[in-house]
Copies of this chain bind each other. A is one copy, B any other.
Amino acid sequence: MEEINSTPLRRSEQLGEEIEERIVTGVYPPGTRLDEQELAASFGVSRTPVREALIQLASAGLIDVRPRRSAIVPEMSAERLYEMFEVMAELEAMCGQLAARRIRPEELEQLQEAHRACEVARDAGDPDTYYQLNEVFHRRIYEASHNGFLAEQAMALHRRLRPYRRLQLRVRNRMSTSFSEHAEIVAAIVEGDGAKVADTLRAHVVMQGERFTDLVSTLREFNAGDNTSGGI
């Protein structure tokens, strides 16, 4: 009896997650055509669950589907990406502000623990680990907002922006800067200064999105290999 997954996912959900993972990690870079038959064959299922997975991803905004034409991984323009970071910054700020008021002692302890873990990764100069721990850190804040809907929205968008954020961590000193900002955020939460938490978080996220130079180079790296209709 090694039933690990208590809620058996539908096939299409598993597929959706797998395809999303591939999009988000760049296996399917922007511009990739998602052929239903091809995907079906590669997953060893029929087209039906694949279609359902694609529809799911489409309504989450991860892919574009045009009627009677293959779904494609959209080429995000720098402008669009900046817009998304702008919204992300505000969601994070909101989470932080609420968290400053509502966080519980044990949650604060967990947040500080996540922060310390980031420090280790920074000292080790390991961007990949830092990236993962950074996710945990931010998720703790989302949860401490004690607004479940907000936390879901923040996580969804955070996930969508993953590939871009990930590459940015390799920019010079970004990891260090990020960690210092985290420290400020934690301090402000401890003080219970909601406005300060919000401002710091907003700046923290905007910093990732605002520098168009970095951003565009990120996009270049991403869109590399596809030189049609250069979406920047």
Give A57's nearest chain B residue, CB to CB: B59
**Cβ of B87 and Cβ of A94 under 8 Å apart?**
yes
**Cβ of A67 and Cβ of B150 under 8 Å apart?**
no
**Chain A interface residue number, banded:** 20 to 34
Interface centre among A10, A60, A83 (most CB of B within 10 A): A83
A147 sits at the interface (CB 8 A)? yes
Q: Which residues of B contact A12 (CB under 8 A)?
A: 55
**Cβ of B66 and Cβ of A150 under 8 Å apart?**
no
A107 sits at the interface (CB 8 A)? no
C-alpha gap A60/B83 in the complex (Å): 20
Partner of A59, one of B56, B84, B94: B56
C-alpha gap A87/B60 in the complex (Å): 18
**Cβ of B84 and Cβ of A7 under 8 Å apart?**
no
A96 to chain B minimum Cβ distance, whole angstroms, is 12
Partner of A55, one of B8, B52, B84, B148: B52
A75 sits at the interface (CB 8 A)? no
A115 sits at the interface (CB 8 A)? no
A172 sits at the interface (CB 8 A)? no
**Cβ of A83 and Cβ of B149 under 8 Å apart?**
yes
Q: A60-B59, A67-B10 are in contact. Are A84 and B52 (CB under 8 A)?
A: no
